[in-house]
Amino acid sequence: MNLARAIHFDESDRNVFHSPARTGEWCVSGGFEFSNWTEGDLTGKARQAFSNGWLGLETFGRVTFVAVTKVEPAEVETLARSLANHFVQFYGAPSIDAALPVARDEIAQMSELCDEHDQNTLLTVARELTDTGVRESYRVIAAEAAGLEQFAIHVDQDDG
């Protein structure tokens, strides 16, 4: 099973998102955050998060690029519980048990997207408001033989 991890090529996400995701955290689309938005909500850093931000499942911050990688089944359940808790705390879900199926579906959709691609493939998301709601599209950037580690900035958690 594949999922996506946040990856940074430079420091730009720290400047364009209110809360940037941490390098290496698991991510989903997170388009649900924008389900009730209107054009009036699309200003500044909120517009950037709407336009092209993946949602990190630890910090609930945003990131521009994610890389496809293998995820262990035990991790998926932990991620689903964390997302379900987020639904309770920030979106008014009545309980973690009620939110858990929705969280699992969100992660399953991301996994399906990632399973179509090789390890280390980069993905970006683009969103737009339409008359029927939020429309998402994805861009795929194939992994180069050189490897992502030559370009990515790796942050040590102890460095702050």
Residue 146, pLDDT score:
39
Distance separating alpha carbons of residues 32 and 53, to the nearest angstrom: 12
Q: What is the pLDDT of residues 45-85, one digit of tens each?
A: 999 999 999 999 999 999 999 999 999 999 999 999 999 99
Residue 147, pLDDT score:
52
* Full-model pTM: 0.86
Q: What is the pLDDT of residues 109-148, one digit of tens each?
A: 999 999 999 999 999 999 999 988 899 999 999 987 435 5
The CA-based angle 46-124-82, given to 5 degrees, is: 65
Using an 8 Å Cβ cutoff, are 100 and 93 in contact?
A: no
